[in-house]
Amino acid sequence: MNRNYIYLTILLLALAGGLFVLPERNNEQGTGPEELMWDIVQPTRYATTDQVARMIIEKDPTIELIDVRPTEEYESFTLPGAVNIPLDSIIIEHYQDYLGVDGMNAVFFSNDDIKADQAWVIARRMGYDNIYVMKGGLNHWVETMIRPVKPDETAPEAEFEKYNLRKGACLYFSGAKPDANAGVQKSGVVVKRKKKAAVAEGGC
Amino acid sequence: MGPLIPQGIITGEWDFVIALLLGIAFGFILEASGFSSSRNIAGVFYGYNFVVLRVFLTAVLVAMIGLLYFDYMGWIEMDLVYVLPTYLSSMVLGSVIMGLGFVLGGFCPGTSYTAIAIGKIDAMVFTGGLFLGIFLFSEAFPWISDFYYSDNLGSVTISEVLGISNELFTFIMVVMGLVAFWGTWLIEKKVRKTIKHYKFE
Amino acid sequence: MNTEEKPAGRPKYINPYFGGVLLGLLLLLTMYITGRGLGASGAVKSAVVTTVDNISPMHAEHNVYYHKFISDNHSPMFNWLVFESLGIFLGGLLSGALYGRLKKLRIEYSPKISGKTRLWAAGIGGILFGIGSQFGRGCSSGAALSGTASFSFGGFLVMMLLFGTGYVLAYFFKKLWI
C-alpha cells in the first residue's frame, strides 16, 4: 500500500518536473501549411463583384472593403467606402484593427486577383477569419458594373436578374439616383461566421 | 484544436447534452469519493478525515499539469480558456462567508446535490438555504453593487500576480500537495486514535 | 459512519487519490471541450431568477442582478450549468445506487447534537454559501477548483481563503461534527 503511494509521489513529481525539461517548442499561432492549402482551394473565399456591389448598395454594415493597391492608385479611383492597406504594409500593427473585427467580412481587392490573393494568404497566415477576395478585381468590376452586357433572350432568368442588378449598380455608382430594389438577387452572399461559445455566464 | 465549443468544432446544439454527460461524471466521482456525507467532508477541518483535501488537491494538480502539457502539445488554445476574473475585495469577503458556511453546513453546492440524490435531508435543507441566500443577495444587490464590482483586476492569472511562470507555480503546488498528502496521512492516524465514539472505515 | 449505515456494512468509497485523478481528468476534458471548468451554484442562481421572474416579472426587470440573467429568447433554466447540475444529481444517484448508499430519507449528524440542530446549521450554512458564492463569483467547484486549475488568481485566492476560514472557525463548531 505504502510503496504504491511512494511510486505515485515520484510519478507526480516527475510529471511536474518534466514541464521544465521540455525542449522549447513554438506552437504556431497562425495557420499551418496543410490547413492553408485547403483554405486556398475553397471557392467560398471569393466574393463576386455582384455580391460586393449588392452589399455596397444595401449599405451592409458587415462589409469592410480593403484596397491593397498602392496609395496613389487608391487615391485616383477606388470603391465607395474602401480603406487602403497597401500590400507591403498589411502586417503593420496599425492596420490590424481593420481585419480582426468580429462579425465583419473583410474583402480584399486590387486591379486583378493577384495582389488581393497575396494579401488574403498573408492575412490567413496571420490567423484572420472572415476574409475574402473580390474575384476579378477592379478590372472585372468595370466590365460587369460599369459596362454590363445584356444577356441573350434565351438565357436563364438568373442572368437577367444579374443584369438588372448590374444596371442598377451602374446607375448607383455613376452618381444617378439609386434604384436599389431593382433586381436584387435572392440568393444570399456566402457569409461564414464563427459560432460564439454559448456557455452560460456566472461561474460555479 | 481545443477548446472545442469556443472554436466551433462542436456546435451549440450539443451544448446541453455535453453538459449533462459531464455533470453525470462529476456527480458520480463526487459521490463515489464520499462527498455525499457532510461528516466526511467536515473531517478535513478536524483532522479525522482528509478525503476533501486528497480528492480536491489531486484534481487541481492533475488538471494543472494536464493543461500545461496540452498547451505544450498545441492541443488547446490557452487564450480561449476562461480565466475567472478577480474582484479582490468582493472575492475575499465571499470566500470568508463561504468558509463559515462550509463549517456550518458541511456541504458545498455540488456535493449537496449528490447528497440529495442518496436521500440526505440535511442536504435538501442546505440547498434550500443556497436558494434563499442567492435570493437575499439579489434583493440586496442595488445596495452592494458598488462593492461587488470594486477592485476589478480583470482576468489575471496566478503567474501575472506572483511573477513566476505557470510551470514553476505548478511544481511548487505539487511539492506542497505531496507534503500535505503525507502530512495529513500522519495527522489522520493520530486523530482517529483519540476519537473513541466515532467509528472509521 | 452514521448508525443507520452500519448494518449494511461500511460505506465503500473509492480511493480518494483515484477519485482525485478522475476528477482532474474530467476537469481537463471539460476545459478541452467547453473552454471553461465545472460549476454548481449557478444552477441554483438560475432557479432563483426563474422563480422571481415568474412571480413578479416587473420586480425581476427592475433589479439589475436578475436582469443580467434574463433573456427574451428562453427561460433562465435553459442554461449550461442547470443541465450540468442535473447531471451531478443523476451521477450521484447512479453512484449511490451502485455502492448501496441509496436509502430512505435520513439526516446525518454528530451524536452530540440533535437532528434539528443539524438542520438549522445546514440551512444557515446554505444561506451563507449562497451569499458567499455570489460575492466570490463561484463556489468551491466553479471558483476554487476550476479557477485554480485554469491558473486564475481569483480562483486560487478563493481556494486558500475558503479553506483557511474553515480552519480558523472550525474550533467553534466542533460539536456539530465530532
Q: What is the pLDDT of residue A168?
A: 78
Residue B28 lies in domain? 1-81+167-201
Q: Residues A78-106: what's their mean pLDDT?
A: 79
B105 touches B38 (CB < 8 A): yes
Once rounded to an integer, what is the mean pLDDT over residues C50-66? 88
Q: Which three cell numbers stand for residue A200?
A: 452560460
> Which tens digits make up the pLDDT trace of C36-48?
889 888 899 999 9
The pLDDT value given to residue A180: 43
B97–C31 C-beta distance less than 8 A:
no
Q: Please report the pLDDT score of residue B178 as a whole number.
A: 94
**Angstrom distances, CA of residue A64 to CA of A59, A104, C73, C108:** 11, 7, 30, 65
Which pLDDT score is estimated for A188? 40
pLDDT of residue A190: 42
Say if B55 falls within a structural domain.
yes
**Residue burial C122-155, b: 16+ Cβ < 10 Å; e: rest:** bbbbbbbbbbbbbbbbbbbbbbbbbbbbbbbbbb
Under-50 pLDDT residues of chain B: 201
Does the CB of B41 have a partner CB in chain C at under 8 Å?
no
d(CA B37, CA C118): 13
Please give the average per-residue pLDDT across A19-36, as a whole number.
71
What's the mean per-residue pLDDT of chain C?
A: 88
Q: Do B8 and B44 fall into the same domain? A: yes
Can you give the pLDDT at residue B118?
A: 93
Planar angle of CA A86, A89, A91, nearest 5 degrees: 130
> Does residue B162 fall inside a structural domain?
no
For residue A198, give the nearest of C83, C51, B76 by alpha carbon: C83
ipTM: 0.93
Contacts of A183 (CB under 8 A, 6+ apart): A160, A161, A162, A163, A164, A165, A167, A168
Tell me if B62 is assigned to some domain.
Answer: yes
- Percent of all residues in chain C with a pLDDT value above 70, rounded to a whole number: 94
CA distance C142 to B110: 9
**Backbone phi, then psi, for A108, in 5-degree steps?**
-85, 145
Domain count, chain B: 2
Per-residue pLDDT, B198: 63
Amino acid making up residue A44: T
User: Within a domain: residue B161?
Assistant: no
* Domain parsing of chain C, residue ranges: 13-106, 107-178
More confident residue, A149 or B85: B85
Q: Is residue B160 part of a domain?
A: no
> Hey, is the C-beta of C17 within 8 angstroms of any chain A C-beta?
yes
Q: Per-residue pLDDT tens for A168-192?
A: 777 777 665 444 444 443 344 444 3
In chain A, domain spans: 3-138
Summarize pLDDT for C107-160 with one digit per residue, the tens: 988 888 898 999 999 999 999 999 999 999 988 888 999 999 999 999 999 999
Question: A202, C143: Cβ pair inside 8 Å?
Answer: no
Query: Do B66 and B12 belong to one domain?
Result: yes
Confidence of residue A29 (pLDDT cuts 50, 70, 90): low
Fold classification of A3-138 is: Oxidized Rhodanese; domain 1 (3.40.250)
Give the model's pLDDT for residue C69. 84
> In this predicted structure, what is the pLDDT of residue C30?
94
**Is A38's pLDDT higher than 90?**
no
- Judging contacts by C-beta atoms under 8 Å, the chain A residues touching residue C50 are none
Chain A residues close to B12, C-beta within 8 Å: 195, 198
Is residue B53, in this structure, part of any structural domain at all?
Answer: yes
> Averaged over A61-83, what is the pLDDT?
84
Q: Scan residues 145-164 of C and list those with Cβ closer than 8 Å to A.
A: 146-147
pLDDT attached to residue A185: 39
Tell whether B131 and B70 lie within a shared domain. no
